[in-house]
Structure 1
Amino acid sequence: MALEDELSCPVCTDVFRDPVLLSCGHSFCRQCINDHWTSSSSRNCPVCRQLSPQEPVSNLCLRNTCETYLREQSTRKERDEEHECPIHGEKIELFCQTDEEVICAVCKKQEHARHKIQPLQQTLQQRKAKLKAALRSAEKSLVSLQKGTARDPKISRYIQFQAQHTERKIRMEFETLHQFLRKEEEGRITALNEEEKEKRAKMERRIQGEMLSLSDRVKELKEGIQDDDITFLQNYHRIMDRSDHTLPDQELSSEALIDVSTHLGNLKYQVWEKMKDICPYYPVILNPSAAPPDISVSDDLTSVTSCFHRQDEGNPLPLHSNRMVLASVGYADAAHAWDVEVGDSHRWSLGVCFGLEGKPATQPLTPENGFWGLRRDGDSYELMAAGMSRVNMEVNVKVVRVKIVYCHEFLQDMMQLKRWRKVSFSDASSNSLIAEFARVPLKKKLFPFVIPEDQAVPLHVVPANVTLTVEQKIPLIEIHRFSCLLFSFCICIVFIFMSLLGKSDRQGR
C-alpha cells in the first residue's frame, strides 16, 4: 500500500486523476485544488500553505505513473477473481492429482473427497522443477546444435558427403559410357571410311582401265587414217566397226555404292545390344545408407567387405548390431532369385528379412523375428533359426543361390486357398539344394541381406544374364497365303471324304 499512498492526492486521498504541480512542488488532482481554492478564497497550498500565484501545470510523469498503476490493479483484481472457484466462490489453493485440476477446500470435501489432493504451491514447485530440468536439457541440446556436436548436424554433414560422393560416381559411370560410345562411333566411322576408300579405289581402277582401252583405240584410228588410200579404203569398214565399240561399258550395280544400311540400319539397337558387356544387370542392389561404418560397400552397390578400420565418414544413424547390409528394394510378389558369391570366405550370413524398421538393434536373427537366412561359421553351415539348425555339406559353396517362390494348397475342409512363400538356398554351380524355409508369411516385403564376417573377403552379388529378344511378326500377306492353303486343304479333305462315302454306298447296293 506504500506505493498507493505515494500516488494518492492529499485532498481526496484517492489515486491522482489529472494531477497538477504547484510552484511549491506539491501535486494535487486538478479538480481537488480548484475546489480548495474556490472554498478558501486564497491560492495557497493545502499542504505547506505557500501561495501559488501562477496557474498549476500538468504533471505528465505522475499522470502516466498513476494510469499504469490503476491498470495493473485492475488486471490483478481480474486475475484474483479468476482464481476463485467458479462453483463455490472460494479461493483456489489445492490441486487434485486424480483429475488434474485446481480446486478449492469445498471441492475437496465434496466432488473430490476420495481423490489424491495436494497443496497448490507444492504442485507448482514440483512441476516447475520438472519444467526447469526439461529446459536445461533443451538448452543443452541448443548449445550442442550451435557448436555442431549434436547428431542432426552430423547427419546433415553426412548427407552432404553422400551427395558429393554419389555425384562423383555418377560422373565416372557416365564417363565410362561416353568412352564406350566414342570408341563405338570411331569404329563405325572408320569402317565407313574404309568402305568408301575401297569402292573409290575400285572405281578409279575401272576408270583407268577404260581410259587405257580408249587410248589404244584412238591410237589405232589415227593410224588407220594415216594409211595410204588403197589400204584405208580396204580397212575402212573394219576400222568403223571398231570405232563403234570403243566403250564396252559394263553395267554398274548398287554394290558399287556405299552400303548405307550396314552402317545406319538399327544403329541405336546394335550399339545398345553391345553395351550389355559394360552394363551388367544386378538383381539385388545394396543400400549403403543402412551399412555399418566398419563395412565397405562397393561403388556399384553390389558387394560388401568387412573393414579393419571404421570409415572416415561413418553413418551417424543407429544401425543393427549384427552388421547387416540390406538390399534397397524388397519383394512383395512374384518369384525372385539371385546369386551371392561368397568365394573363399569361411564366415558369412545371407538371406531375407522383413526389414529393420522398428526392430531392436540386438534382436536375434530368427524366423520368429522376421529373418530367414543361412550362415557359415568355419566348416559348418547353419540355418538361422532358434537353436541354429546345422546343415550337412560335402563341399564348400562358392556361390549361393537364394530363391523366393510362391506356394499354395487348397484346404477342402475350410474350402479356401492357402498361400505362402518358400525361401531356399542352393549351390549355384551344381544347382543342388542346401536348405529351405517353408511357409514364410506373405504379409510384408522380403528384403535380401548379407553379413560379411571375414575381413577383406567380399560378398558379391552376381550379375544376371540378360537376353535381348526381338518380336517376330508374320506379315499379313503370309497370313493370307497360309489361310488360303489351309482352306484348300480342308476342301480337299471334304471331297475325299465324300468320294469315299459314295463309293461305300455303291458297294452296299
Structure 2
Amino acid sequence: MALEDELSCPVCAELFSDPVLLGCGHSFCRQCINDHWTSSKSRNCPVCRQVSPHEPVSNLCLRNTCESYLREQSTRKERDDEEHECLIHGEKIELFCQTDEQVLCSECKKHEHARHSTQSLQQAVRQRKKTLWSLQNATAQDAKICNYNQTERRIKEEFKKLHQFLKREEERRIVALNEDEKQKRAKIEKRTKGRIRSVSDRLREVEEQMKDDDITFLQVGMAETSYTHTLAKYTLPDQELSSETLVDVSKHLGNLKYQVWDNMKDICPYYPVILNPHTTPADFSVSDDLTSVTSCLHRQEKSNAFPLNRSRMVLGSVGYGIGTHTWQIEVGNSRHWILGVCFRSEGKPITQPLSPENGFWGLRRDGCMYSFLSMPTRFSLKTNPEVVQVRLEDDYDVMGRWQRKVSFSDAGIHSQFAKISGVPSGKELFPFVMPEDQSVPLRVVPVPAKITLAGEQVERNLSFRERYKGLIEVCCWVVIALLVILSFKTDRHDQ
C-alpha cells in the first residue's frame, strides 16, 4: 500500500496516468494538473503552491514504474482472487458497508446488510485516499498559515537592526563628546602655557630688580614682587574658565532621545498602509515588511487577461472609517494595475466581480487607458503617474447627506485626475491593490513622521461650509431660481 500511495496522483488519488513533472519537483496526471490550473486560474502546484511558469514535462521514469506496478498487481490479483473470499458465504468480496465499515460480498449485502448503505470496494478505496490527501493538504496549509517561527525570526531581525543602529549612534555621540573634550583641553593647555610664560617672564624681571640696591628695590614696590600676587594677577577668571573649558552639556544631552529618534526615521519609515498577507493569492509575492506585492504570473498580451474578482487582490490590514485618509502607491512603469477601496467581504464567493454593487470602488489602468470599476468608459492621461495618491475623505451630496469619496492624484505633480463620489458610509473601507504585470511590484510609499503636540488634533474638524456644503448649494440654487422668477414677473409687468 505504501508503494501504491507513492505512485498515486495527489489530485485524483488514483495511480498516475500519463504523469508529468513540474518545476517544483511534484508529479501529477497530465489531465489532473490541467484541470486544476483551469479551475484555479493560476499555474500553482496543488501541493506546495509554488508557481510553475513553464509547461510540465513527461515523467517517463514514473510512467514506466506505474506500468510495471500495474502488471504486477494484475498478476497478484489473479493469484489472490481466491484468497479474498467471504469467510461466511465463500463469495468474492467486492462491496464496502458504510454503516458498519466492513467489506462484504453480494450475499452479505442481501442478508445481514440489506438496509445498510454500501458502495463498491474500488470507490470506497478511492474516497478514503482523497480524504487522507485532503487532511494532509489541510495540515500543510495550517503549517503555512501558522508561520510562528518565520514571524519570530523577522521580528528578531528587525530588532537586531535597531540595536545595531542604537549602538552606532551611541558610539558616534561618544566620539563627538571626546572630540569636544579634546578641543577644550587643547585650549586650556594653550592658555595655561601662555600664562606660565607670562609669569616666568615677570619673575625674571623681579629677580633682576632684586639685584639692584635697596633703595631702588623699595621704589619698585614689594607688593609687585609678591609671588602670590603675581599668580593671582595672571589666573583665569571663573567665568572665563566656564565658557572656555567646560563641555557643552546641553549640546550633547539636550533632547538626546528626540535627536536619536529623528535620525532613526531613515531606517524606521512609517507606512500608512500595511498589506495583509492572509489575503495574498498563491501566485503573488509580498515583501517581508508587508509594503509591496508582485505578481509572479505571466500576463498574456490581451485585454482583461486576468479576471476582475477579489481572488486577484491584496487587502490592507486596517480599514478606514470616518475622517480623511491618504496613502500613495508606487506603480513605477507598470501598465496594468488596479487600486481602490472595498468593504471586507467574508463569506462571499471570491469570483464575484469588482463593482460598487459588491462593495468595490477603484481605478484600473490597462495599457495606456484608464477606467473605473463602476463603468466601462475609458480615458487616457497626458502623463502616466509613477506614484498614485489615493485619498479617502468625507463628502456630502446635494441634500447634505453624509457619504464618502475616493480621489486619485499624480503624486509627482500633485494633480488629481480621477474621483469617485457616492461611496456609502457606515462601514470600514479597506485599501486594496492588484498588480497585473509580472515582476513589477506595487509599493506603498512611506510618509514622513510628524510630531503632534499635546492637545493638537491630528485630523482637523470639518468647517461649517464643508459640513453643509450640499445644503448650501441647494439654498444657492433656490435663491437663483427665485431671482429668475421675480425678474420674469417684473418684465411681464413692465410690458
- TM-score bracket, normalised by the shorter chain, equals 0.5 to 0.7
Residue 340 of structure 1 and its aligned partner are, at CA, apart by 1.0
8 Å CA contact 1:224–1:239 kept in 2: the answer is no
Q: Deviations over 1:219-246 (max 9, x none)?
A: 333343344xxx2322223152422441
Residue 136 of structure 1 and its aligned partner are, at CA, apart by 8.3
Residue in 2 aligned with 1:237?
219
Residue 128 of structure 1 and its aligned partner are, at CA, apart by 4.6
> Is 1:246 aligned with 2:227?
no
**CA–CA distance in 2 between the matches of 1:268 and 1:180?**
13
Opposite residue 450 of structure 1, the aligned amino acid is V
**CA–CA distance in 2 between the matches of 1:373 and 1:343?**
18
8 Å CA contact 1:339–1:428 kept in 2: the answer is yes
Equivalent position SS for 1:277: coil
Residue in 1 aligned with 2:393?
405
> Is 1:192 aligned with 2:177?
yes
Residue in 1 aligned with 2:447?
464
Report percent identity of matched pairs: 49
**CA–CA distance in 1 between the matches of 2:297 and 2:221?**
98
Q: Deviations over 1:291-333 (max 9, x none)?
A: 1121111122111111259xxxxxxxxxx66421111111122
User: Of the candidates 255, 260, 263, which is equivalent to residue 249 of structure 2?
Assistant: 260
Opposite residue 157 of structure 1, the aligned amino acid is A
Mapping of residues 8-23 of structure 1, within 5 Å: none
Residue in 1 aligned with 2:465?
none
Equivalent position SS for 2:265: helix
Question: Residues 190 and 165 from structure 1, CA distance in 2 versus in 1: closer, same or farther, beyond 3 angstroms?
Answer: same
Equivalent position SS for 1:246: helix
Residue in 1 aligned with 2:413?
430
8 Å CA contact 2:410–2:416 kept in 1: the answer is yes
Opposite residue 365 of structure 1, the aligned amino acid is L
Residue 395 of structure 1 and its aligned partner are, at CA, apart by 2.0
**CA–CA distance in 2 between the matches of 1:419 and 1:308?**
41
Mapping of residues 223-234 of structure 1, within 5 Å: 223-227=208-212, 231-234=213-216
User: Of the candidates 429, 440, 446, which is equivalent to residue 423 of structure 2?
Assistant: 440
Question: Residues 125 and 422 from structure 1, CA distance in 2 versus in 1: closer, same or farther, beyond 3 angstroms?
Answer: farther
Residue in 2 aligned with 1:20?
none
Opposite residue 448 of structure 2, the aligned amino acid is N
**CA–CA distance in 2 between the matches of 1:332 and 1:133?**
56
Residue 427 of structure 1 and its aligned partner are, at CA, apart by 1.9
Mapping of residues 268-287 of structure 1, within 5 Å: 268-287=257-276
Opposite residue 237 of structure 2, the aligned amino acid is E
Q: How many residues align?
A: 329
> Is 1:391 aligned with 2:375?
no
Residue 125 of structure 1 and its aligned partner are, at CA, apart by 5.8
8 Å CA contact 1:403–1:425 kept in 2: the answer is yes
Residue 390 of structure 1 and its aligned partner are, at CA, apart by 1.2
Report which of the two structures shows the higher radius of gyration computed on alpha carbons.
Answer: 1
Residue 459 of structure 1 and its aligned partner are, at CA, apart by 0.8
Mapping of residues 71-470 of structure 1, within 5 Å: 128-129=117-118, 143-144=132-133, 150-159=136-145, 162-227=147-212, 231-244=213-226, 245-247=229-231, 248=233, 249-253=235-239, 254-255=242-243, 256-307=245-296, 322-386=311-375, 388-409=376-397, 411=399, 418-468=401-451, 470=453
**CA–CA distance in 1 between the matches of 2:320 and 2:153?**
30
**CA–CA distance in 1 between the matches of 2:452 and 2:404?**
30
Question: Residues 134 and 466 from structure 1, CA distance in 2 versus in 1: closer, same or farther, beyond 3 angstroms?
Answer: farther
Opposite residue 349 of structure 1, the aligned amino acid is I
Question: Residues 419 and 470 from structure 1, CA distance in 2 versus in 1: closer, same or farther, beyond 3 angstroms?
Answer: closer
**Higher RCO (CA < 8 A, seq sep 6+):** 2
Equivalent position SS for 2:204: helix
**CA–CA distance in 1 between the matches of 2:282 and 2:397?**
45
Residue 442 of structure 1 and its aligned partner are, at CA, apart by 1.6
Q: Deviations over 1:430-486 (max 9, x none)?
A: 33332222211124211111111111111111112333355699xxxxxxxxxxxxx
Residue 359 of structure 1 and its aligned partner are, at CA, apart by 1.8
Question: Residues 348 and 410 from structure 1, CA distance in 2 versus in 1: closer, same or farther, beyond 3 angstroms?
Answer: closer
**CA–CA distance in 1 between the matches of 2:406 and 2:340?**
8
Residue 170 of structure 1 and its aligned partner are, at CA, apart by 2.0
Opposite residue 251 of structure 1, the aligned amino acid is P
Opposite residue 425 of structure 1, the aligned amino acid is F
8 Å CA contact 1:408–1:418 kept in 2: the answer is yes
Opposite residue 330 of structure 2, the aligned amino acid is E
Residue in 2 aligned with 1:45?
none
Q: Structure 2: 5+ residue runs without aligned partners?
A: 1-109, 299-308, 457-495
Question: Residues 437 and 235 from structure 1, CA distance in 2 versus in 1: closer, same or farther, beyond 3 angstroms?
Answer: same
Question: Residues 194 and 463 from structure 1, CA distance in 2 versus in 1: closer, same or farther, beyond 3 angstroms?
Answer: same
Opposite residue 240 of structure 1, the aligned amino acid is M
Opposite residue 154 of structure 1, the aligned amino acid is A
Q: Deviations over 1:30-78 (max 9, x none)?
A: xxxxxxxxxxxxxxxxxxxxxxxxxxxxxxxxxxxxxxxxxxxxxxxxx
Residue 141 of structure 1 and its aligned partner are, at CA, apart by 7.0
**CA–CA distance in 1 between the matches of 2:394 and 2:429?**
13
Question: Residues 396 and 170 from structure 1, CA distance in 2 versus in 1: closer, same or farther, beyond 3 angstroms?
Answer: same
Opposite residue 222 of structure 2, the aligned amino acid is M
**CA–CA distance in 2 between the matches of 1:376 and 1:345?**
9
Per mean C-alpha deviation after superposition, the further-off stretch among 329-338 and 168-177 is: 168-177
Residue 127 of structure 1 and its aligned partner are, at CA, apart by 6.6
Residue 218 of structure 1 and its aligned partner are, at CA, apart by 3.1
Q: Deviations over 1:346-378 (max 9, x none)?
A: 111111111241121211111111111111111
Question: Residues 410 and 366 from structure 1, CA distance in 2 versus in 1: closer, same or farther, beyond 3 angstroms?
Answer: closer
Question: Residues 129 and 421 from structure 1, CA distance in 2 versus in 1: closer, same or farther, beyond 3 angstroms?
Answer: farther
Under a length normalisation based on structure 1, what TM-score does the superposition of the two structures give? Answer: 0.58
Residue 385 of structure 1 and its aligned partner are, at CA, apart by 2.1
8 Å CA contact 2:397–2:403 kept in 1: the answer is no
Q: Deviations over 1:387-409 (max 9, x none)?
A: x2213322212221111111235
Q: Deviations over 1:260-279 (max 9, x none)?
A: 12111121112112222222
**CA–CA distance in 2 between the matches of 1:246 and 1:431?**
73
**CA–CA distance in 2 between the matches of 1:197 and 1:472?**
44
Residue 420 of structure 1 and its aligned partner are, at CA, apart by 1.3
Residue 283 of structure 1 and its aligned partner are, at CA, apart by 0.8
8 Å CA contact 1:391–1:434 kept in 2: the answer is no
Cα RMSD after superposing both structures = 3.2
